[in-house]
Structure 1
Amino acid sequence: MESLPTTAKPERRARSKPLYTSKPSIFMAFFSCLAWLYVAGRLWQDAENRKLLASLLQKNASQRSLILSVEEKLQVLGCKDLERRIVEVEMDLTLAKSQGYLKNQLRQSGSSSEPSRKLLAVIGVHTGFGSRLRRNAFRGSWMPKGDALKKLEERGVAIRFVIGRSANRGDTLDRNIDKENQSTKDFLILEGHEEADDELPKKAKFFFITAVQNWDAEFYVKVEDNIDLDLEGLIELLEHRRGQDGTYVGCMKSGDVIAEEGKDWYEPEWWKFGDKKSYFQHASGSLIILSKNLAQYIYINSASLKTYAHDDVSMGSWMIGLQATHIDDNRLCCGSVRQDKVCSVV
């Protein structure tokens, strides 16, 4: 028997589509893997480093002495260099003190006509605009004039009348002084100072500043123009004190501080001198002698030196804080009756 023909259906097979992966994705995955490995390695390395540092710190802490020596403390604080600098500064201060409170010698700024060699003394006779007759009297008595004044400087003593300038610069007062100086050539004119009765302490300061700048001398002497001098006696006194640094010589006195305004010798800052209102010991203003290094101290520190109502009190206050030797010499008490005194009141 014949079989019936059958229709064969085509067999359907499921076919999967091929997967396509782009090259950029592969590279990104590869680099991500590398980055992860790098980060993991660094984290592991940092952890090991921390362990090593912790162990070293613990070991050093156990070995370190609990009590530090002074040397170790200086090293810890970084003060070794500071200690060296302090020693150097102390050496410089010692040198400055031996040279008149300066490390190097002061520059001599005097005119070429002034002597360049070292003098025994510079004597400044403090005068005023109205004292011409008194100056003329001095020039004819104890004070040399003309060629004799130059010969005295050759011996080592320079004498000058000391005066400032008028409040009205260039007026008749200034012109008269300039004219007198052209004739006598015996003035030290303080160009930066205004001449006035209430400015005498500043005038004393300006004198020492200018004298130190112009002359190199063993001593600097301030003299008022109301006294006569035994010049040879003063020179002999100074000769005996050559080489004595830090000497402050004069007729020492104290005296009451006048607190009542309007009275003679009134001191506006009386309250600074204590309840007893008495001045400290200081040289009388008639004649005061300073050694070179003390005069240089005034020159160097002039801007910070306090002045009081009176010039001798002001100078005494400058000397109090220094290593100065106060020498009370009765021969410099101009009002005394001693026979061997070197000055007398006119």
Structure 2
Amino acid sequence: MEGLPTTTKSERRWRSKPLQTSKPSILMAFFSCVAWLYVAGRLWQDAENRTVLANLLKKNLGQRPKVLSVEDKLAVLGCKDLERRIVEAEMDLTLAKSQGYLKNHLQQKVSSSGQLLAVIGVYTGFGSHLNRNMFRGSWMPKGDALRKLEERGVVIRFVIGRSPNQGDSLDRNIDKESRSTKDFLILEGHEEAQEELTKKVKFFFSTAVQNWDAEFYVKVDDNINLDLEGLIGLLEDRRAQDGAYIGCMKSGDVISEEGKAWYEPDWWKFGDQKSYFRHAGSSLIILSKNLAQYININSASLKTYAHDDVSVGSWMMGIQATYIDDNRLCCGSIRQDKVCSLT
């Protein structure tokens, strides 16, 4: 009788091995299928994109240049139009400034005819009260006489800045005197200090042209007596003369030795001969309206030197200014018809 087939232990172990490795194989096969599908999908998508782009290029080939210039790219981005609007806005701002439309400043036209003849700024300091009273009692009108002079088109003001310790007794005394006499131009943004003196002329012309519409702006030192009618007559003869830079023109050596009088820290900028360029002397400087407006508009970038007259002269060199050397404005001369003299 034949017996039933039997299996040994080793045969059972051999037959069980495929059961142990079948699950990982299925997983590998599954992931392989997924990966193949992903790659095939991407390839199909890229092929479709390439087809779309090729059709667009063929369609626009005759309409656009093959290579875009920088100007074309800026136009596409809208930058060109923005650049144009910025330039236009800057031009409008410059024009508005030149016409006096400045923030918190309204031009005061006190002349019945509209434009004043001149604004005369007389430098003064905190300790010059007696000197101011002397001027008010001599060549400078006061009270009603000052108002009548303004009706003729001439404004005169003492020019002073603020104390380094703003609001202290120095400022309060000037404010009190100003309320009483009404003949001050207080430069709110300027510090009245010796080391800041050369910047004062820039603040004066800028502030004066913002506050009054005049044909001329005159800076006068505090050690000068004026023949006021003589000065008015001189300015009347120069009416409607744009670009007028008027004064007692001079030059001179640049002092390069520190500690000496009139020392110029920037002496090396004036060349090997160390000589100043032609400029109106400090005692009395006259600028026509457009030159004062130029200083006002560009005040932030204008360089100041050790002396205010040299500073003004340097600003005039770069623009179309007409230099007018008038010996009547040489206050130290011996001419009989001069309009100023040293005190």
Q: Which moved more, 1:192-201 or 1:254-263?
A: 192-201
Check the 8 A contact 1:120/1:156 in 2, yes or no.
yes
Quote the residue 2:130 is aligned against.
Answer: 133
Q: What SS does the corresponding residue of 2:258 show, helix, strand or coil?
A: coil
Structure 1 residue 214 and structure 2 residue 205: aligned?
no
Cα pair distance change 1:345/1:163, threshold 3 Å? same
**Structure 2 residue runs without a partner (length 5+):** 1-68, 76-82
Quote the residue 1:303 is aligned against.
Answer: 300
Quote the residue 2:27 is aligned against.
Answer: none
Given the alignment, which residue of 105, 110, 115 partners 2:110? 115
In 1, Cα distance between equivalents of 2:287 and 2:130: 28
Q: CA deviation at 1:172?
A: 2.0
In 2, Cα distance between equivalents of 1:96 and 1:240: 33
Check the 8 A contact 1:100/1:297 in 2, yes or no.
no
Cα pair distance change 1:138/1:107, threshold 3 Å? same
CA deviation map 1:170-211 (0-9, x unaligned): 222222212211221111111111111221211111111111
Structure 1 residue 143 and structure 2 residue 140: aligned?
yes
Matches within 5 A, 1:248-259: 248-259=245-256
**Structure 1 residue runs without a partner (length 5+):** 1-72, 80-85
Matches within 5 A, 1:186-197: 186-197=183-194
CA deviation map 1:146-172 (0-9, x unaligned): 000000000000000001111112222
CA deviation map 1:284-333 (0-9, x unaligned): 01000000011011111110000111110111111110111111111100
Check the 8 A contact 1:217/1:292 in 2, yes or no.
yes
Cα pair distance change 1:291/1:99, threshold 3 Å? farther
Cα pair distance change 1:248/1:94, threshold 3 Å? farther
CA RMSD of aligned residues (A): 4.3
Check the 8 A contact 2:205/2:296 in 1, yes or no.
yes
Cα pair distance change 1:135/1:244, threshold 3 Å? same
Letter in 2 for 1:160: R
Quote the residue 2:220 is aligned against.
Answer: 223
Structure 1 residue 330 and structure 2 residue 334: aligned?
no
In 2, Cα distance between equivalents of 1:238 and 1:89: 40
Quote the residue 1:341 is aligned against.
Answer: 338
TM-score scaled by length of structure 2:
0.72
Quote the residue 1:52 is aligned against.
Answer: none
Q: What SS does the corresponding residue of 2:170 show, helix, strand or coil?
A: helix
Cα pair distance change 1:107/1:338, threshold 3 Å? farther
Check the 8 A contact 1:108/1:216 in 2, yes or no.
no
Quote the residue 1:320 is aligned against.
Answer: 317
Residue identity (%) = 72
In 2, Cα distance between equivalents of 1:345 and 1:149: 23
Q: CA deviation at 1:90?
A: 11
Check the 8 A contact 2:224/2:342 in 1, yes or no.
yes
Check the 8 A contact 1:100/1:293 in 2, yes or no.
no
Letter in 1 for 2:330: C
Structure 1 residue 275 and structure 2 residue 267: aligned?
no
CA deviation map 1:125-158 (0-9, x unaligned): 0111111111111101110000000000000000
Q: CA deviation at 1:110?
A: 4.2
In 1, Cα distance between equivalents of 2:188 and 2:90: 32
Q: What SS does the corresponding residue of 2:260 show, helix, strand or coil?
A: coil
Larger radius of gyration: 1
Letter in 1 for 2:165: N
Q: What SS does the corresponding residue of 2:253 show, helix, strand or coil?
A: coil
CA deviation map 1:40-59 (0-9, x unaligned): xxxxxxxxxxxxxxxxxxxx
In 2, Cα distance between equivalents of 1:290 and 1:273: 24
Letter in 2 for 1:206: F
In 2, Cα distance between equivalents of 1:167 and 1:89: 38
Q: What SS does the corresponding residue of 2:147 show, helix, strand or coil?
A: helix
Given the alignment, which residue of 169, 173, 179 partners 1:182? 179
TM-score scaled by length of structure 1:
0.71
Check the 8 A contact 1:122/1:211 in 2, yes or no.
yes
Letter in 2 for 1:270: W
Q: What SS does the corresponding residue of 1:164 show, helix, strand or coil?
A: strand
In 1, Cα distance between equivalents of 2:91 and 2:151: 33
In 2, Cα distance between equivalents of 1:309 and 1:145: 34
CA deviation map 1:249-280 (0-9, x unaligned): 00011111111111111111111111111110
